[in-house]
Amino acid sequence: MNLKLLLLGILFAASWASASAAAKFGLRSVEPLVLFQVRFLAAGLIMLGYSFIIQKDRWPKGKEWRELTLFGLLNVTLYLSFFVLGIKEVAAGIGSLSTATNPLFISIISAFWIGRHVKGAEWMAVLLGLTGVGIATYPLLQKSYATPLGLFYMFLSMISYSVGTLYYSKIDWKLSRTAINGWQVFLGGMLMLPLTILLHKEPNLFDLNFTLSVLWLIFPVSILAVQLWLYLLEVDPVKASFFLFLCPIFGFIYSYLLLDEPITYHTFLGTALVIIGLYVGQREKATQKSGK
């Protein structure tokens, strides 16, 4: 792995893992869906503006509209709607840890998608990952840092993201990464708008705390991290997935330093099991790719 790929991968993990902590700050001022509704539409418009004005990209045409809309539905509307509903009820570190298990679900879902036999190593990887999340979550459930409903939302978000990732990899995209990212974020945000309006209950405070949270979620997360992720997937999907190992580590560091959320031996043990599960799963994927 060359130095450039290594540095970009670390930057991706550090940026992506910060989403949970940034969301926690924003949720002190506004409802979950309101926070991410503003983020999606603003990030989408910024990226589309860059795409059309700077890169001179063309508009989608024909079936590309359907592909972008479906990708946005899976990767934004469903994934992040469930995520923001869940992160309100679980610790930020658990949110990052749950997100890191996505590659395990991707490998299992992709096997059923193409009709491939799921190997024992893949099931073992998923079992280790879920056990790790369970161990890390156990003391948080007792101390009200997490709820069963919040964990269920996180599970649904992981499934949606995994299906969205597989869908993205199956499409022969003709648009630039910036255009794809911009359209899927914008369209996903538009599809989420009815749900945001329907579930609106509490008064929202659009203060400095909200503004800083949204700006962080737009630039380092929605734009920088996603662009880096799409780039890493194009260079080498297997190596790219290994950088997800770092996400739970960064996530717990952020939650501990910024939000004063507890870190116990359950945290270390659970994180270790998730990382081992990711390693087993990615080693199996690398073996399949090499044809050994």
pLDDT for the residue 183: 95
Phi then psi for residue 90, to 5 deg, are -135, 160
Q: pLDDT digit string (tens) for 186-237?
A: 999 999 888 888 878 878 899 999 999 999 998 998 889 988 988 887 787 6
Residue 113, H or E segment: helix 102-114
Note the residue count of the chain. 292
Q: How many CB atoms lie within 10 A of CB 205?
A: 11
Please identify every stretch of the chain with a pLDDT value under 50, giving residue numbers as ranges.
Answer: 292
Residue 6, H or E segment: helix 3-26
Domain range list for the chain: 30-290
Distance CA 279, CA 241 (A): 10
pLDDT for the residue 24: 85
Give 39-86 as a DSSP string: HHHHHHHHHHHHHHHTS-PPPP-THHHHHHHHHHIIIIIIHHHHHHHH
pLDDT for the residue 210: 93
> Considering only CA atoms, which of 273, 275, 279, 253 is closest in space to residue 134?
273
pTM over 0.85: no
> Considering only CA atoms, which of 288, 14, 247, 264 is closest in space to residue 129?
247
The one-letter code for the residue type at 183 is W
Token couple for 232: 């890493």
Q: Give yes or no for a contact between 278 and 103, defined as CB atoms under 8 angstroms apart.
A: yes
- Rama region for 187: left / alpha / beta (φ>0; ψ in -120 to 50; rest): alpha
Distance CA 119, CA 284 (A): 9
Distance CA 109, CA 92 (A): 26
pLDDT for the residue 3: 79
Cα-based distances in Å from 260 to 25, 151, 175, 185, 264: 12, 20, 42, 31, 12
Long-range contacts for 113-118 (Cβ within 8 Å, ≥24 apart)? 113/166
**282 Cβ partners below 8 Å, 6+ apart?**
103, 238, 241, 242
